[in-house]
Amino acid sequence: MITYRRLTDKDFPRLYHATLAAFSDYTVPYQPTQESLQRMFLINGVSFGLSVGAFDGDEMIGFAVNAVGVWRGRRTVYNSGTGIVPNCRRQGISRKMFDFILPILREDNIEQYLLEVISENEPAVRLYQSLGFEISRRLLVYKKQDAVFVGENENKKLTIKEIEMPDWKLFESFKTYRPSWQNSADAIKRSIADETIIKTFLGLYLSGELVGYAVVFHTSGNIPQIAVAEKHRRKNIGGALLNALQKQTEKPLRVSNVDAQATGVSAFLEANGFSLLTTQYEMLLKL
């Protein structure tokens, strides 16, 4: 008999093994280490008490791991990962997990539920739509095929150096689109609290003025935020920032969840050796 209950911290070992099984045949390969999964949960702000697991006896066969925070001014739960082990799919387990957890979220005064889903995963998209989720935007995931550089900086007025105290208000003025949950300022701030999550903030300075910035996680090569002030775009200076980021990690650089409407960002990445890895839908359910 399959049972459903909230998760606790003690469930992490079973959750980890269920994650490996659930994503073993995923469209985008995902086989994290225990440490990287824990880091992702910390960055996202996961709350096990607002998450649900499906169990066959003591074995976890499904999960919906949720984070909690504020999104666009509303108390929000963000789905940090939903999966069903392969031999237990097509039994309605995902729907039953949501049927279990949604009343709990409403009782906890959660105002909305946010998630992302690979756009090619049509069964999952249909499930979420049947639950009342609506597509809010399309997101693009880019990755460089190799950890290569794009050319040296020849602009003598241009310098790049590490930023020790991020100026989030100034950074906000550089952005062309709202970052996704796991790339938000709140998520990056959560990562700062953990010294094991090695990251670097780099500033792009033109004649001493900060005109761009970026953040890179060393272990994954992921760039949660990168932006150049509007008046300094399309001047061939962003590539120097990418070079400096690549020097921080041996992994090929990756930029996740670029808003599809931010065509200038996509053009910049593609011109600097990035290729489209996959697309996602950001979906939202008002509770």
Residue 188 sits in a domain whose CATH number is 3.40.630.30
In a domain, 235, yes or no: yes
Residue range 67-80: mean pLDDT, rounded: 97
- pLDDT the model gives residue 149: 62
- Contacts with 117 (C-beta within 8 Å, 6 or more apart), sequence order: 124, 125, 128, 280, 281, 283
Tokens for 37, please give them: 């999964």
The number of domains in the chain is: 2
Q: How far apart are CA 226 and CA 213, in angstroms?
A: 6
Residue 205 lies in a domain: yes
Q: Considering only CA atoms, which of 226, 233, 224 is closest in space to residue 206?
A: 233
- Per-residue pLDDT at 154: 64
Which of 110, 131, 150 terminates a domain? The answer is: 110
List the single range of 71-80, 123-132, 146-155, 220-229 with lowest mean pLDDT: 146-155
Q: Does 137 map to a domain?
A: no
Q: What is the DSSP letter of 29?
A: -
Reference 168, options 103, 118, 224, 121; nearest CA is 224
Residue 153 in this model has a pLDDT that exceeds 70: no
Which domain does 30 fall in, by range? 2-110
What is the mean predicted confidence (pLDDT) over 177-206?
A: 93
pLDDT of amino acid 26 = 79
Q: Indicate whether 43 pLDDT > 80.
A: yes
What is residue 48's predicted lDDT score, i.e. its pLDDT? 97
What mean pLDDT is predicted for residues 110-128?
Answer: 96
pLDDT at 275 exceeding the cut of 70: yes
Highest mean pLDDT among 46-55, 157-166, 266-275: 46-55
Question: Is the per-residue pLDDT at 238 higher than 90?
Answer: no
Indicate if 267 and 155 belong to the same structural domain. Answer: yes
Q: Coil, helix or strand for 227?
A: strand
> Is position 224 within any domain?
yes
Check whether 97 has a pLDDT greater than 90: yes
Query: Over the stretch 195-232, which tens digit does the pLDDT of each residue have?
Result: 889 999 999 998 899 999 999 999 999 999 999 999 98
| Residue 129 domain flag | no
- Which of 56, 91, 110 represents a domain boundary (last residue)? 110
Residue 134 has phi, psi (to 5 degrees) of -120, 145
Whether 150 and 242 have beta carbons less than 8 Å apart is answered as: yes
Q: What share of the chain is helix, strand, coil (3-state, %, to 5)?
A: 35, 35, 35
The pLDDT confidence band at residue 233, using thresholds 50, 70 and 90, is confident
Average pLDDT, the chain: 93
Strands 199-206 and 158-162: antiparallel
More confident residue, 116 or 26: 116
In three-state secondary structure terms, 26 is coil
**pLDDT at 193 (0 to 100):** 82
Looking at this protein, which amino acid is placed at residue 73?
Answer: G
Per-residue pLDDT tens for 126-139? 999 999 999 999 99
Interval 184-203 mean pLDDT: 92
Q: Do 105 and 158 lie in a common domain?
A: no
Task: Compute the residue count for the chain.
Answer: 287
Quick one: 43 and 88 in the same domain? yes
3-state secondary structure of 51: coil
- Domain final residue, candidates 69, 89, 110: 110
Q: In this structure, are 82 and 157 located in the same domain?
A: no
Q: How confident is the model at residue 240 (pLDDT cuts 50, 70, 90)?
A: confident
Whether 207 is in a domain gets the answer yes
Question: Quick one: pLDDT band at residue 33, thresholds 50, 70, 90?
Answer: very high
Q: What are the b/e assignments for 177-187, b being 16+ CB within 10 Å?
A: bebbbbbbbbb
Q: Is residue 190 part of a domain?
A: yes
pLDDT at residue 166 greater than cutoff 80? yes
Residue 134 lies in a domain: no
67 lies in the same domain as 190 = no
